[in-house]
Copies of this chain bind each other. A is one copy, B any other.
Amino acid sequence: MKISQRGAIPRFIVMDVMKAAAEREASGAGVLHMEVGQPSTRAPKGVVEAAKQALDGDLLGYTLATGIEGLRDRIARHYQEFYDLDVSAERICVTTGSSAAFLLTFLAAFDPGDKVAILRPGYPCYRNILGALDIEAVEVPVGPDSRFQPTLDMLDAAGGADLDGLLIASPANPTGSMLREDELKQILEYCREKQIRYISDEIYHGITYGTEVATAAAFDANAVVINSFSKYYSMTGWRLGWMVLPEDMLRPVERLAQNLFISAPSLAQHAAIAAFECAEELDGNVARYARNRELLLAELPKVGLDEFAPADGAFYIYADVRKFTNDALDFCARMLEQTGIAATPGNDFDPVNGASYVRFSFAGSTEDMAEACKRLGPFLQAAK
């Protein structure tokens, strides 16, 4: 019976780690969750309250494919408030998480065989979604020498004007590293000259630790900006994100969204409007991430983990574990079994060098982070 080649994309390993952790929990053993890239907090109170009101007051049917007007307007206003930038609500498209935004952007911008540059290490689904859509993912290897972000020379080496698209996340997953504003502008200029469609993954905006954040929307009307309610707004399971679209992609994306998604979840859309008024609670989450980050940056070197990517933003430490293993999959499986710490093997983010890296998410509680540091010591000692 017919089955596809493209279904043979790699699994998203972190989802399988999550499964193993869930099985461990079901068996009664505890887990310190440092695997999944999601806040350990619920949606802010204002969002929960707004959701209850929508449950009582709204039909919760399909919405327009690009989202309800109230939410698109509120997102547009957010660009004014957060970035001091005028963005018309017409350019906002609400999506079923940033996952849908990537799918829609790739379909609207690229045809089979087109080349899109992505960073390695990077979010694995970029590569896997591009692959499923028969778009060639061109990997740009980045490392500590360039703070895990690309230089123009690296983009040249990846094909330069032969590229059709370039996708960069800042803050990045799994490294947390960020593009400075001058670097972003330089890359956008490079893309403009070479007619490369720039896609800016900004889903970790709001979760930074002192580094200034810049949106591609401020500098280039041709760039696609992708954002999400999952991270800063602490609403992963609500599956809601948005895009700021260039004019020429508005109608193609709308048509694709009508056909592929119909609409984003209605309840989440109504509730998310309130998320923008929950800064106090949300900034409290970020303050906790900041404490966790400080703790890990101080404690991990003491137990032998002393090489990481710069954790400028997001809630990840991408640690070089070469001293302990060249098989991060096995390493993480043993770590879960022996210490109850769930973390994600670098293989997910980097098919070439990832087996020597582990991503630790510090989105959990500070107590869990402290406990993890304690347990890591003996485990790493034995692993050496």
Give the B-binding residues of A (Cβ under 8 A): 1-12, 15, 18-19, 22, 36, 38-43, 48, 51-52, 55-56, 59-65, 96-97, 99-100, 103, 107-112, 114, 124-125, 128-129, 132-134, 164-165, 195-197, 222, 235-239, 246, 248-249, 252-256, 258-268
Contacts and interface: CB of A to CB of B under 8 A. Distances in A.
Contacts of A133: 133
A255 to B, nearest CB: 5
A196 B2 contact: yes
Given A59-B237, A125-B260, A129-B259, A1 B222 contact: yes
Given A2-B110, A52-B52, A125-B259, A266 B252 contact: no
Given A7-B253, A41-B59, A265-B265, 12 more contacts: A2-B197, A3-B108, A7-B255, A15-B65, A36-B62, A51-B267, A52-B52, A60-B236, A60-B238, A99-B260, A124-B259, A128-B259
A111 B5 contact: yes
Contacts of A254: 11
Nearest to A269: B237
Contact of A64 (B19, B111, B246): B19
Contacts of A124: 259
Contacts of A110: 2, 4
Contacts of A9: 255-256, 259
B60 A237 contact: yes
Contacts of A235: 60
Contacts of A165: 2
A160 to B, nearest CB: 14
Can you tell how many copies of this chain the complex includes?
A: 2
A216 to B, nearest CB: 13
Given A61-B36, A107-B7, A261-B99, A2 B237 contact: no
Nearest to A43: B60
30 contacts: A1-B195, A2-B110, A2-B165, A2-B196, A2-B197, A3-B108, A3-B249, A3-B252, A4-B110, A6-B107, A6-B111, A7-B108, A7-B255, A11-B258, A12-B258, A15-B262, A38-B61, A39-B61, A51-B55, A51-B267, A60-B235, A99-B260, A125-B259, A129-B260, A237-B263, A237-B265, A238-B266, A239-B264, A239-B266, A267-B267
Contacts of A253: 7
Given A15-B64, A132-B256, A133-B133, A109 B7 contact: yes
A132 to B, nearest CB: 5
Nearest to A253: B7
Nearest to A221: B1
Contacts of A65: 12, 15
Contacts of A238: 60, 265-267
A236 B7 contact: no
Contacts of A132: 107, 256, 259-260
A252 B4 contact: yes
B3 A248 contact: yes
Interface centre among A48, A96, A107, A258, by most chain B C-beta atoms within 10 angstroms, is: A258
A222 B164 CA distance: 39
A38 to B, nearest CB: 5
A256 to B, nearest CB: 6
